[in-house]
Amino acid sequence: QVQLVESGGGMVQAGGSLRLSCAYSGRSGDTYALGWFRHAPSKEREFIAHISSNGRVKYSADSVRGRFTISRDNAKNGVYLQMTSLKPEDTAVYYCAARRLGVTTAADLYDYWGRGTQVTVSS
């Protein structure tokens, strides 16, 4: 069992930055791949980025590449999403998720999810 708790969301103006954090705890949490997803009203859940258990493999969606950066610190049991040049279309609830069997962009294949943190970008 892995528990995930997101934080760092809030309201920011377009062009601004935010850093989301996700604290993970539980058995062998540092052996799990971690991902960030978002869900905006009237839209499907969207993959944002993932990172392997050792941090060596990272991948970001085209929609955020060059603006968002995923990282993790296993010593602190944390995964982070640094978001820059934010746009109104980035407004959504952001979730982190953990998967035992490695990285994937498919949300349905993740084993555990946090409750999310709201990000609102005003124009």
Could you tell me whether strands 10-13 and 117-122 are parallel, antiparallel, or unpaired per DSSP bridges? parallel
pLDDT (0 to 100) of residue 82: 98
Over residues 81-100, the pLDDT tens digits come to 999 999 999 999 999 999 99
Over residues 47-86, the pLDDT tens digits come to 999 999 999 999 999 999 999 999 999 999 999 999 999 9
Q: Determine the Cα angle at 97 with ends 81 and 83, to 5°.
A: 15
Over residues 6-19, the pLDDT tens digits come to 999 999 999 999 99
Sole residue written with tokens 């993740």:
110
Using alpha carbons, select from 122, 120, 51 the residue that is nearest to residue 81: 51
